[in-house]
Amino acid sequence: MLSNNWPGLVRGLVILAALGVWLTIGALGGQAQGSLSDVQTNDAAAFLPRSAESTRAAALARDFVRDESLPGLVVVETSDGSSLTEGQVSAVRALAEAIPAAPLEGTSGDEPQTVGDASVAAPVVVPAEDGTAALVVVSLDADLAQDDVGAEDSSVAELAVAALRDRASAPAADGGLSGTGLDVWVTGPAGFVADFVKAFGVIDTVLLLVALGAVLVILALVYRSPVLPFVVILTAVLALSLAGLVVYHLTANGVLTLNGQSQGILSILVVGASVDYALLVVARYREELRAVASPYGALSRAMRASIAPIAASAGTVAAGLLCLLLSDLSSNRSLGPVAAIGIAAAFLAAMTALPALLLVGGRHARWVFWPRVPRAVGPAAHAETVDADDGGRVVVEGHGVWSRVAGFVGRHDRPVWIGTALLLAAGAALVPTLDAEGTGDAEVFLTQVDSVDGEAALVRHFEGVSAQPASVVAPERDLEAVVEAAEQTDGVARAAVVTDRPPAAPGTPAQGDPLVVDGRVRVDVTTEAPSDSRASIEAVADLRSAVHEVSPEAVVGGTAAERLDTRLAGQRDLRVIVPVVLAVILVILVLLLRSVLAALLLVGANVLSFGAALGVAAVLFDQVFGFPGADPAVPLYAFCFLVALGVDYSIFLMTRVREESLRVGTRRGVLRGLAVTGSVITSAGVVLAATFAALGVVPLLFMAQIAFIVAFGVLVDTLVVRSLLVPALVHDLGPRAWWPSRLDGRPARDSAG
């Protein structure tokens, strides 16, 4: 009796062990996933290569700094545009005097805590020349400055700025400016840090909830079951827990660099990929349940049939994304392994956690499909057919709408692939209209934020004032020539030599002699445009050219210079990484399909699809959404995701087509493969598009653009490339599509096609 039950007992123990391991991963990984924000780094300067001029300039410029600080600029303006009254000026001075008198306090959770001192220097009050505004310069302490954006203490910086804003907006009786007829903003580097951290704060909660909610709705429509969608969602959550656990520890130990963008993309990518893989496994499992009585046997057959295409898909995506390791920017380099870890976690969850969850009911495991429970009716009863009717037209039966699509493709293959290729080419022709020269900090927020409004007020009233000037470090002998070259550069407001006595306030002349460190001097150059704007970046590019002409050893750094170097590095990455990604994917496809021609067709089709998505996005960004431009990394990220993920669906299709072609020939095989996989691949594409679209909840321009391009591109890949272009082209070519493999040369079996 025991020997008869032994196989079932072993299977039960294996299922329990798998579930126990994954539930442990879920418990540990859930905590790690929630702590990823604590190990982020979003400082643009930290991402630049050491060879970048702004990086070298920053290292030299630190020798001229007495105290590290994170400047916060409190800008006040009269609400009615009138001149400041004596009472208003007194209120502003009282606020400035009160700031260093007591630590800034914020609230973390339910507990108040001290979050920083404005102790580097007493806040300085600078009146505007027009008399309608004033500026309070607050230097937050060095500990907050050193961690910049997104590391553990950046949340402390956010609390410090929030506390400063609360203090400034408090009633006048409590030392604030409310009720005094003044509008007040906190901007500058500290203000932007706080607003960036706040924007990325939705990644841990809102982004994931929106993504999972959208996927759950789609799965409910696909499966029409109250149970199965939650099984798939749980698989995705477990995969995300594993990815978060690995990424957290690698980042905490300095192996990886994680920023807010990478964390958001990781969450979306893992959820989308996990659900895609689960959809394929469940679809094949359902198919086998109609042919096999035992759920164990059906799942075993489904896993054997699914593991190769899913492994190939995961490997292709991971390999393509790992090409980002070739980037000059560490933010791009880090995304490669972070995303690859996410794909690996999704694959492991789909191959181990999902089967265990599907077999929880043992011999009654079919219950997860309730109320549409598949019944075993034998292999012949659910097999589809591909034949020619009396009129010679191809007829596909057994898969509803996708049978009709396959029949249409078979009857009109050449017009279909030519028409879709021309349509995609028309979209791709619009790619040159994409403006990917970068944007300023004030342009990346999609919602109204205090720092952006404050910077606008700063520009209105304080010409030549900047908390982030460009820094020129040059040999002492070239000082006069450098200052003259800087002042004559278009877009430069003023050039000030750093002296041994600091200026009384920003924008005022410094006193004393030039400060010389190791034979070098520093000149701070303030541009007419805000330092984080595109106009300032162009001015700094001209400044570099002018300074290098008179002092070849001089280096130019600062915020605008860092953005310039980031743009140049992004353009270089696009030129280098794109061909490498294509080559890697091509090699994988050749090995998988054992065909050079089929691999070339798939890569070409997906490049065309990417071009169409990017071209359409370029027009919509400019003409419909009114976006000011795009980050240089947008086309690179979009390319890596769309080409790698788009090839996914072609892999799912073509591996089934190859399987069918071995039995019935290429032309019949491609139609059968399209009919069989149409529903599940389309569902997978819609799920992935919905998950990437969820990135739009992060109120930042970069995330919104990536969300749209990838979501739209995935739908194009799913509904046009995989459904029409690729099958029509392969059907038209027939056995030649498999050249030079052994499938080439089976014309007799293809005669009915």
Q: What is the Cβ-side half-sphere exposure of residue 713, based on CA atoms within 13 angstroms?
A: 34
Site of tokens 């995705």 = 236
Residue length of the chain: 753
Please state, in angstroms and as integers, the Cα–Cα distance from residue 364 to each residue in 78, 289, 330, 378, 385, following that order: 74, 12, 51, 18, 31
Tokens of 339: 């995303």
What's the DSSP call for residue 720?
I
Query: What span, in angstroms and rounded, lies between the C-alpha atoms of 355 and 375?
Result: 19
Query: What span, in angstroms and rounded, lies between the C-alpha atoms of 197 and 33?
Result: 17
Query: What span, in angstroms and rounded, lies between the C-alpha atoms of 222 and 279?
Result: 10
What's the DSSP call for residue 500?
E
Backbone angles phi, psi at 165, to 5 degrees: -65, -40
Q: Are 660 and 673 in contact (CB under 8 A)?
A: yes
Give 133's strand partners. Answer: 77
Pairing relationship of beta strands 511-514 and 470-475 according to DSSP bridges: unpaired
Q: Are 414 and 148 in contact (CB under 8 A)?
A: no
Site of tokens 């109320």 = 371
List the chain residues with pLDDT less than 70: 1-8, 42-47, 66-69, 100-122, 141-157, 204, 361-362, 376-399, 464-467, 502-511, 742-753
Residues sharing a CB contact under 8 Å with residue 741, sequence separation 6 or more, in sequence order: 593, 594, 595
Query: What span, in angstroms and rounded, lies between the C-alpha atoms of 426 and 171?
Result: 60
Query: What span, in angstroms and rounded, lies between the C-alpha atoms of 604 and 582?
Result: 9
Long-range contacts of 113-121, Cβ-Cβ distance < 8 Å, separation of 24 or more? 113/159, 115/156, 115/159, 115/160, 115/163, 116/140, 116/141, 116/143, 116/144, 116/156, 116/157, 116/159, 116/160, 116/163, 117/141, 118/72, 118/164, 120/67, 120/69, 121/67, 121/69
Tokens of 108: 């973390």
User: Residue 94 region, left (φ>0) first, then alpha (ψ -120 to 50), else beta?
Assistant: alpha
Site of tokens 């009114």 = 626
**Angle 400-411/666-693 helices, nearest 10 degrees?**
120
Q: Please report which residue ranges of 349-470 form alpha helices under DSSP H.
A: 354-358, 400-411, 413-428, 441-444, 450-461
Residues sharing a CB contact under 8 Å with residue 666, sequence separation 6 or more, in sequence order: 657, 730, 731, 733, 734, 735, 737, 738, 743, 746, 750, 753
Span 386-406, pLDDT tens digits: 554 444 445 455 557 888 899
pLDDT at 513: 81
Q: What is the Cβ-side half-sphere exposure of residue 651, based on CA atoms within 13 angstroms?
A: 28
Span 113-134, pLDDT tens digits: 444 444 445 677 788 888 899 8
Q: Are 542 and 600 in contact (CB under 8 A)?
A: no
